[in-house]
Structure 1
Amino acid sequence: MLNFSFSQEQDYFRDMLRNFSVNVLLPQYTKWDREKTLPRHLWKKLGELGVNGLRIPEEYGGSGAECVTAGIAAEEIGRGDFNLTYAVMLNALASEIITNHAAEQLKKTWLPQIASGEKIVGVAITEPSAGTDAAGIRSTAVHKGDCYVLNGEKSGISAATFGDAFIIFAKTDQNSGSKGISAFIVPSELPGVECKGYDDMGNIPIGRGSIYLTEVEIPEENLIGLENNGFFQVMNGFDLSRLLIGLQCVGAAFQSIDETIEHVKTRHAFGKPLARFQGVSFPIVTHYTQLELIKWQAYRGLWLRDQGKKHTREASSVKWLGPKYSQEAIHECMLLNGHYAYTKDMPLEQRLRDVIGLEIGDGTAQANQIVIAKELIGKEFRPY
């Protein structure tokens, strides 16, 4: 039996978040971009609303919600403030890594603070010479006595400039490729940790940048899971974050379409509303239809994850096409709104810049097509 409906609780959660997102977040969305700052008070407010701890068990201050519910949060917050959706996506990825693999003391220390919004924990995998090919990681973690000593550079890391800690992936076995990677929780205030931000095109409030590690000593208790097993711990997490990213982008695009529909219904040309022209209405219909397809593929992927079923192919297809179709829709909305939409007085130009960034993050289009090909064709497909 097929059932595409949400539960009563999920419908209530969606309505609550839609109201908060459109009425509280949206009016200030462009403010944080101009001021180049993340509104931590709103991040904490999302913690109060239960958003930050959706994938954290109740005993650690979260709600232990289903992945589908996290998807609802990503879509709805994406309507109001694209960058604050990282409170869903980033927290879900970090929380699952800690919940599923960390020792009890690390869980008790970090999960309640993530859920409340008091602490922001980034995930640092990418390096200047290692992105999609995580086996190329060069950062090292050497076990010395009762601690590990970390050295290396992480690049393109979300929350680099304001993260309170990072889950750092580093080589603990130089001769084992991806099998020799381990994960550690590294507080950002430790000696030897230096964070520098980028002057990015979009996603400015999220503070993307590089993290430099120079003889950083961390206690061995900060190792997450088993040594040399970090790479495999995080790969399953990408299936979740990629689905949430798709809904994050779709939410921003749907909000743009809703705003544009109101514009073309009230703006007149040649004696009738713009909406009466097929050259206006048909592009809106096209983008709406594409976004609906991505939206339901994303929720299907999240449902599969909740059922413990394989969903890698669904996640990669959503990550590949979600940002692509969303930025195309927002671009069209900008054109349909006319020259005023090209100014920073409207949110469309910022949404376009922000969404484009996630055509890269968490796997480019090409990387996700490789994943789909491997899933679809099998071991016969070998791109390298």
Structure 2
Amino acid sequence: MPAERLMPTTESADLIDLVRDIAGKELRPRVDEAERTGTFPREVFRTLGRTGLLGLPYPEDVGGGGQPYEVYLQVIEEIASAWASVGVGTSVHALSCFGLFHVGTPEQQERWLPEMLGGELLGAYCLSESHAGSDPAAMRTRAVREGDEYVLNGAKAWTTHGGVADFYKVMARTSDDGGRGISCFLVPADTPGLTADNPEQKMGLMGSTTATVLLNDVRVPVERRLGEEGQGLSIALAGLDAGRLGIAAAATGVAQAALDTAVAYAKERETFGRAIIEHQGLAFLLADMAAAVESARATYLAAARLKDLGRPYGRQASIAKLVATDNAMRVTTDAVQVLGGAGYTRDFPVERYMREAKVMQIFEGTNQIQRLVIGRHLAR
């Protein structure tokens, strides 16, 4: 059954209804085939863009939807409950626009932001490298200034939308001053020298293309640097706080879908003359699953409300990402158990939900990194 939501306005309640309608007509009919074949659903993202869903958390005067994060994240959750690859991709796209909106000049924003937020241009976020995932300050990709251009060389690993995006938000080293030597660039996908390796063969999120982006003498005009030289890592980390909330919402959507499937199955499957949901042992398991889903939702919404108020929310974002993704892993695993042997087959989607939940404990900062971040906040 759909999640019960208390939306802040009538407009936002109508928005959720719109998202559910799109999910029913555009996402659910396609998800099984696309995930089975590993097909990237580019047209789906165009549909979301044209309906205004890709730019929801950004102001209307720059082409966004003007919605608070409290609303935007619940949209992400609804999308992810229908198709996790698209929910994650929607969050990544918003993250790829973050630097331009927050540190871009008015001229940069006017030139590029409307198409990005309108969904005609799909974004990707290039921070990690094969040897520098949890430690981005160790990156080796380098940008050397030559006159009015920078020349970028390196490889950015684990790039969501790598090879299919229209633009890349790239972090590259402009000096050897550790974390203070990293700068941020907005690079069009058709720039000579920018290519992508073959997509990674993942255990889940098959409909989300993940690839290493290769930069071989990629020339980027100085006007495509976002912020000042050396500001890149702070831009990246500030964006990650918002991105972690997006992943928390997506994980909650996957968990909600797994719960819904398990409850529906438990109402229909009978043993010993009764529906299995009437057996206390299974009913208690389902109750714990429901509690995990609702507590995850409450946690990410609490962090979102702090962000909407302009208050610090980094610790709460890490808590939300940690709680929501760990809960999603547990709920999806339990959903497979509820369905028994049927849950281990591809006749039901719960095995896919379990595979999708696993990576959410890893990207946007592993959950071990989230514990490190939370612990540092507590030590201040």
Say whether the fold is shared (TM-score over 0.5): yes
TM tier, shorter chain? over 0.9
Aligned runs of 1:265-304 on 2, under 5 Å? Answer: 265-304=267-306
More displaced, 5-14 or 257-266?
5-14
Aligned to 1:119: 121
Aligned to 2:365: 363
Give, in whole Å, the separation in 2 of the partners of 1:207 and 1:233.
24
Give, in whole Å, the separation in 1 of the partners of 2:271 and 2:25.
31
Give, in whole Å, the separation in 1 of the partners of 2:264 and 2:21.
18
Give, in whole Å, the separation in 1 of the partners of 2:303 and 2:323.
14
Aligned to 1:334: 336
Aligned to 1:166: 168
User: Could you tell me which amino acid in structure 2 is paired with residue 229 of structure 1?
Assistant: Q
Q: Which runs of 5+ in 2 are unaligned?
A: 1-5
The answer to whether the 8 Å contact 1:91/1:121 transfers is yes
The answer to whether the 8 Å contact 2:306/2:312 transfers is yes
Moved over 3 A (4+): none
Aligned length: 374
Compute the displacement of 1:87 (Å): 4.3
Aligned runs of 1:99-178 on 2, under 5 Å? Answer: 99-174=101-176, 176-178=177-179
Aligned runs of 1:161-240 on 2, under 5 Å? Answer: 161-174=163-176, 176-196=177-197, 197-240=199-242
- Secondary structure of the residue aligned to 1:338 is helix
Give, in whole Å, the separation in 2 of the partners of 1:273 and 1:347.
21
The answer to whether the 8 Å contact 1:141/1:171 transfers is yes
The answer to whether the 8 Å contact 1:164/1:188 transfers is yes
- Secondary structure of the residue aligned to 1:340 is helix
Compute the displacement of 1:23 (Å): 4.4
Normalised by the size of structure 2, how large is the TM-score?
0.94
Give, in whole Å, the separation in 2 of the partners of 1:288 and 1:24.
27
Give, in whole Å, the separation in 1 of the partners of 2:107 and 2:57.
18
Give, in whole Å, the separation in 1 of the partners of 2:178 and 2:16.
43
Deviations, residues 103-130 of structure 1 (Å, cap 9, x unaligned): 3343233322222322111010001121
1:320 to 303, 319, 322: 322
Normalised by the size of structure 1, how large is the TM-score?
0.94
Give, in whole Å, the separation in 1 of the partners of 2:96 and 2:278.
48
The answer to whether the 8 Å contact 1:50/1:62 transfers is yes
1:62 to 49, 61, 64: 64
The answer to whether the 8 Å contact 1:26/1:79 transfers is no
The answer to whether the 8 Å contact 1:73/1:88 transfers is no
Q: Which runs of 5+ in 1 are unaligned?
A: 379-384
RMSD: 1.5
The answer to whether the 8 Å contact 1:30/1:350 transfers is no
- Secondary structure of the residue aligned to 1:204 is coil
The answer to whether the 8 Å contact 2:127/2:236 transfers is no
- Secondary structure of the residue aligned to 2:207 is helix
